[in-house]
Amino acid sequence: ASGDQHELLLSLNRDLLSSLARQEGLPNPSVHVALRLSSHHNLAYESQYLNRLKTELHSHIQRYRNARLRSAWARWSLTPSASPQLSLQQPGGDGAPGPLHPGAEVLLLRPEHRQLRRGRAQGSLLAHLRRQLEQEKEHLTFSHRPLTNFYQYSLGVLALCVNGVRVNNHVANKLIKAAQHERFKHGDVDSVDTYAVAGVALQCVKNAGFHVHGAAEWDAALAKIKQKLLAARGANGHIGNEFSTGQAVQALLAMGSPESEYTAAMEAMRTSVRCNFTTTPWPCLRFSQPCT
């Protein structure tokens, strides 16, 4: 990296570290991921922050899950003809904030997976995630939509894959079908974020060798995802918008795209980071350089 790039990276790192002291409320998982991706580390701060995530955030998630289960049981008890499975749907459709998705939680804790797997915490999270994906898959069979959304569904598949857990063929196939039928939408518009995460998830499962049947269909789904991402490139270099570009570049990299297909997007990210455009810190630490 040039001297200017090095100084910018150090400045971003200092900003992130100083934000830890000012942060109110629950810790932010994106901050921890950004710190871990950086080439500059303060291990004491990072360890302290990870402990907060594993205690405060995990406790908050568990309380939320328990409250949701109690609420679902109460609703089901009052209306026996209703489906209890539908009552377990996580919020999101009404715009209300929900808890950290189990897939995100598993990905967040993955740097410590060797230690966690020896205990019950990681096994419990992975088991919960597998059960949730099965519920999502069953709901997809009848409604063509997951209980949450396809972004969270893809995130769950990715979380299992990167932790070396075999992904059920039927679970992966639902994602393949959704990609082929272009169901990754935000309203009437293609969701670039969802296509990106789905692409990384499917490529991960393919590379892991978990899925042995339907190679042509699998490749067709990945080709469709890549086509959608490339079609979303704008004149300003972004893929979709400033906030989806980082994930789109990660997907193109994972799918083995030639550098020429994402060079403009990386340049746009560098500009956005320098000008304080992005809200997710992790792309900044990989691709940042000064504005010109």
Annotated binding site for cyanocob(III)alamin: 148-152, 193, 241
Classify residue 203 as left (phi > 0), alpha (psi -120 to 50) or beta. Answer: alpha
C-alpha to C-alpha distance for 36 and 39, rounded to whole angstroms: 8
Is 4 exposed, middle or buried (CB count within 10 Å of its CB: 0-12, 13-18, 19+)?
exposed
* φ, ψ for residue 239, nearest 5 deg: -105, 105
C-alpha to C-alpha distance for 125 and 121, rounded to whole angstroms: 6
Given a contact cutoff of 8 angstroms between Cβ atoms, the answer to whether 163 and 113 are in contact is: yes
Classify residue 153 as left (phi > 0), alpha (psi -120 to 50) or beta. Answer: alpha
Question: Token digits for 48?
Answer: 């302290």
C-alpha to C-alpha distance for 56 and 41, rounded to whole angstroms: 23
C-alpha to C-alpha distance for 239 and 5, rounded to whole angstroms: 23
Is 222 exposed, middle or buried (CB count within 10 Å of its CB: 0-12, 13-18, 19+)?
buried
Given a contact cutoff of 8 angstroms between Cβ atoms, the answer to whether 129 and 163 are in contact is: no
Given a contact cutoff of 8 angstroms between Cβ atoms, the answer to whether 183 and 144 are in contact is: yes
User: What residue numbers does the annotated binding site cover?
Assistant: 148-152, 193, 241
Q: Of 261, 260, 271, which Cα lies nearest the Cα of 236?
A: 271
Given a contact cutoff of 8 angstroms between Cβ atoms, the answer to whether 110 and 71 are in contact is: no
